[in-house]
């Protein structure tokens, strides 16, 4: 195994140093496996998004892995959607990826389903020309699926993805 790791390391060095990658035999490259670790599938979820039972007209934030990096305000639920703003407090770098997960509930506190708002920084624009510091305020609007949008009376929200520069 140590020999395979050494050969793999040398092959990686040859490639990064401009060597001919066609001369690297893939059978000799080191492989890494982490026993018991399953690769991620699907979208990230948050515990409590479907069990909070908020009161009608209420938007409740559920605990997520990035809660110490933002604050929320202007949270509203109306017209089959939940909206609000996130103020990124962790640093002043640009937001690259953001996902807001919403859970929707009827007037009796029964969970109906989820929706998401996903933000990706547009890599095609030239951010060097932007004047001033990056925006730390991110607005979101998550629309409930059509099949139950007319019954939405309350919501939960959480942030399972937040990536800054």
Query: Residue 138 pairs with which residues in a beta bridge?
Result: 86
Q: What are the structural domain ranges in the chain?
A: 1-35, 59-164
117, 141 in Cβ contact below 8 A? yes
Nearest one of 163, 84, 88, 65 to 120, comparing CA atoms: 163
Per residue in 52-61, pLDDT (tens digit) is 989 999 999 9
Mean pLDDT (whole number) for 96-115? 96
Q: Compute the distance between CA of residue 134 and CA of residue 20 in angstroms, rounded to an integer.
A: 41
Per residue in 136-164, pLDDT (tens digit) is 889 999 999 999 999 999 999 999 999 98
Give CB contacts under 8 A, 24+ apart, made by 148-151. Answer: 148/104, 148/106, 148/112, 148/113, 149/79, 149/80, 149/81, 150/80, 151/106, 151/107, 151/112
Please give the CATH number for the structural domain made up of 59-164. Answer: 2.60.40
Helices (H), the chain: 2-16
């Amino acid at each position: 195994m140590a020999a395979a790791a050494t050969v793999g390391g040398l092959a990686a060095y040859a490639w990064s140093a401009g060597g001919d990658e066609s001369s690297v035999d893939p059978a000799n490259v080191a492989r890494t496996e982490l026993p018991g670790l399953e690769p991620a599938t699907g979208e990230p979820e948050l515990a409590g998004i479907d069990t909070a039972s908020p009161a009608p007209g209420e938007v409740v934030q559920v605990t997520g892995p990035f809660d110490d990096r933002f604050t929320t305000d202007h949270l509203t639920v109306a017209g089959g959607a939940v909206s609000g703003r996130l103020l990124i407090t962790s640093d002043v770098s640009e937001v690259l990826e953001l996902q807001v997960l919403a859970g929707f509930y009827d007037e009796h506190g029964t969970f109906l389903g989820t929706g998401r708002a996903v933000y990706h920084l547009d890599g095609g624009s030239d951010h060097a020309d932007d004047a001033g510091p990056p925006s730390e305020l991110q607005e979101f609007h998550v629309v409930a699926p059509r099949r139950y949008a007319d019954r939405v009376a309350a919501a939960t929200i959480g942030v399972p993805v937040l990536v800054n520069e």
